Amino acid sequence: MNTLSATPGILAAFRKYLRIFRVSLTERFAYRGDFFLGTFLRFLPMLTTILLWTAVFDGAKESGREELGGYRYREMIAYLLLVHISRMFSSMPGLASGIARDIRDGSLKKYLVQPLDLIGYLISYRAAHKAAYIVTSALPYAVIFGICYRFFDHWPDAITLVAYLISLLLAFVVGFAFEACVGMIGFWLLEVSSVLYIIMTLNYFVSGHMFPIDVLGEPWATFLKLLPTQYLAYFPATVFLGKTTGLDLTHGLIIEAIWAVVLLLLARVLYRTGLRRYSAYGG
Amino acid sequence: MPIVIARDLGKNYRVAEKQPGLRGAMRHLFARKYKIVRAVDGVSFEIEPGEMVAFLGPNGAGKTTTLKMLAGLIYPSNGSCEVLGFTPSDRADAFRRRFSLIMGQKNQLWWDLPAADSFRLHREIYNLPQDQFDRTLGELTELFRVEKLAKQPVRELSLGERMRMELIAALLHRPELLLLDEPTIGLDVVGQGIIQNCLREYNATRGITMLLTSHYMRDVEALCRRVLVINHGRLVYDGALEGITDQFGRVKLLRLQFAGPAPDLSRYGTVTQAVDRAATLQIDRSKASSILSDLLSQHTVTDLSVEDPPLEDAIARIFEQSATPVEAAIAS
């Protein structure tokens, strides 16, 4: 876009956003208390979901059913544990509301008067937060998965693991772009909190965060698998569990990558359109 | 060649007209009425390199809107402006590297990190060579006297210290033009003085062009030779600061200290203050010398000063004299 003689090109741009990444990382560690407390408390909901689904399956067993939506008890718990890993990559707390707030209170101007791109900036910032979070919660997660090893049938092979990692990295991009698009609503609506609340609550179901999408039955399961939201939680978990394999896996990854690009482009289009409106109606 | 050229620059805002009360709010949900407010209404001026110019005007006069158009944040509704040879609203990177905008009410520094981290980030954002960055930062730290503060988290700094850090951040890429919106807002007199000194010195050594808006006359008096007075979106005065007093100030202020209790002075003019032996008297400028000699011959005056009334008074008079806002109601 901005190919000026003063800009030594992509390398410089990369350095710029790498620096943002580093400063964001530094900032992340500045809130030590919140950081460790947040990391620790995030594991509590896991326990409650496991207890809930244990009760559900106990009830199902009494009526003679061993499976729910194609998931046996152990698979279900394994799935719910894995969803946390998916969300560790794809969740973007405060991203949409932060963009809307910047638009509303005028902080957006820093991206307009400085040679700095909002989307590039925010994605670097989020990547830093995620990196910090993932590194520091690796140990507690390892402990939890160690305790819960009996819920997993087998350790996936190397190719599945690589595919899983790719699906998680793409989940980060899809999650980022999805929330960025939602945040851009702030250009058109002054107060976005209720819209955000609805979208985020729906997302909890349709992404498969609460339970596997298959549990809903047809035609819902097929429909929800057409949406990009399934890549935020459901898809990576099924890859690890070995429920998505072969051609399905390849297709899934390709479609996830396409969604990542499409949503990023959409965020950019919304940003541009929104900026034109913002500049016309006042800042 | 002027660094800033504004030609017949104007900005209309569309604001929703809301009726008060619940019924009004309900009606507003379905049938909105808008009106057009001319925030800036055909303003023309030029600013030469190295000038320090102040924008004066009451709240809502259009100062900040003008500044935002010059910075490229908002598009003009009519007229045009050219800043550093660019059209600001194109937001070309080459343009954005050559100016800075500071808004006193907003902070750009990372709240929980030392300012030094924010500075380093600026180096990357503006792609500054390391040696140039080090040199500029050294000079600015010395000029703004903040050597010991760069390593403290920004949230622990006082407002005045933080503002100096904001200025450093804004000057790191050596902009040619600095747009300042209320740079000393909320600061005490000492804090204001420090910022003023820094800006003045920076202007003297670097020849940077500055355009500032402020509510504090002290800022304007300390920094700017030239003022643009804007009211209801129109430029009502463009010239030297002293010119305002000559043109609009018709009175002088006498501060008197008597040997005994202050006598009744109301026949000379308006007594604005009379406490014990001291009195302040506002008199017609043309009669100043005759009143003075009269006073001195009839009373024992121990101390005396003749002053121009505060500049605020003269400015207030300009505001009163200029036109009322232009509004056009439309329904949509």
**Omega prior to A219 cis, within 30 of 0:** yes
| CB-facing half-sphere around the CA of A179: CA atoms within 13 A | 22
Predicted local distance difference test score (pLDDT) of residue A283? 47
* Share of residues in chain B with pLDDT > 90 (%): 20
Q: At what angle do helices A118-147 and A246-281 cross, to 10 degrees?
A: 140
Q: Per-residue pLDDT tens for B43-97?
A: 999 999 999 999 888 777 888 889 999 999 888 989 999 999 999 988 888 899 9
Predicted local distance difference test score (pLDDT) of residue A281? 66
Q: Per-residue pLDDT tens for A116-129?
A: 888 988 988 888 88
ipTM of the complex: 0.72
Q: B170 contacts in A (CB within 8 Å)? A: none
B253, two tokens: 């202020």
Predicted local distance difference test score (pLDDT) of residue A180? 95
A77, two tokens: 């718990």
Residue with the two structure tokens 């297709």: A251
Please check whether residue A72 touches B, CB under 8 A.
Answer: no
Please check whether residue A47 touches B, CB under 8 A.
Answer: no
Higher pLDDT, B22 or B52: B52
Mean pLDDT taken over chain A = 84
d(CA A261, CA A258): 5
The residue ranges of every structural domain in chain A are 10-58+72-281
Terminal C-alpha separation, chain B: 44
Predicted local distance difference test score (pLDDT) of residue B249? 63
Q: Cβ of A16 and B91 within 8 Å?
A: no
Q: B14 contacts in A (CB within 8 Å)? A: 281
In the three-class reduction of DSSP (H, G, I as helix; E, B as strand; rest coil), residue B10 is classed as strand
**In B, what residues contact A, Cβ < 8 A?**
11, 13-14, 39, 65, 68, 71-75, 89, 91-94, 96-97, 99-101, 103, 106, 108, 110, 112-113, 117-118, 120-121, 123-127, 153
A6 pLDDT more than 80: no
Residues in chain A: 283
B1 pLDDT more than 90: no
A134 pLDDT more than 90: no
The residue ranges of every structural domain in chain B are 251-307
Global confidence as pTM: 0.79
B331 pLDDT more than 60: no
Q: In the structure, what pLDDT confidence band is assigned to residue A39 with cuts at 50, 70 and 90? A: low
Phi/psi at A180 (5° precision): -60, -45
Mean pLDDT taken over chain B = 84
* Share of residues in chain A with pLDDT > 70 (%): 89
Q: Per-residue pLDDT tens for A216-238?
A: 878 888 888 889 999 999 999 99
- Residues B314 and B281: beta-carbon distance below 8 Å: no
Closest by Cα among A196, A83, A70, A87 to A134: A87
B85, two tokens: 């040879």
Kindly give the residue spans of alpha helices, DSSP state H, lying in chain B. Answer: 21-30, 63-71, 93-96, 115-125, 130-143, 159-171, 189-206, 217-223, 241-248, 288-298, 311-321
Average pLDDT over residues A256-264: 96
d(CA B186, CA B162): 12
Q: Nearest Cβ partner of A279 from B65, B74, B127?
A: B74
Please check whether residue A191 touches B, CB under 8 A.
Answer: no
Q: In the structure, what pLDDT confidence band is assigned to residue A1 with cuts at 50, 70 and 90? A: very low
Higher pLDDT, B329 or A42: A42
d(CA A263, CA A55): 38
d(CA B12, CA A162): 56
B151 alpha-carbon distance from chain centroid: 30
Q: Nearest Cβ partner of B75 from A18, A26, A280?
A: A280
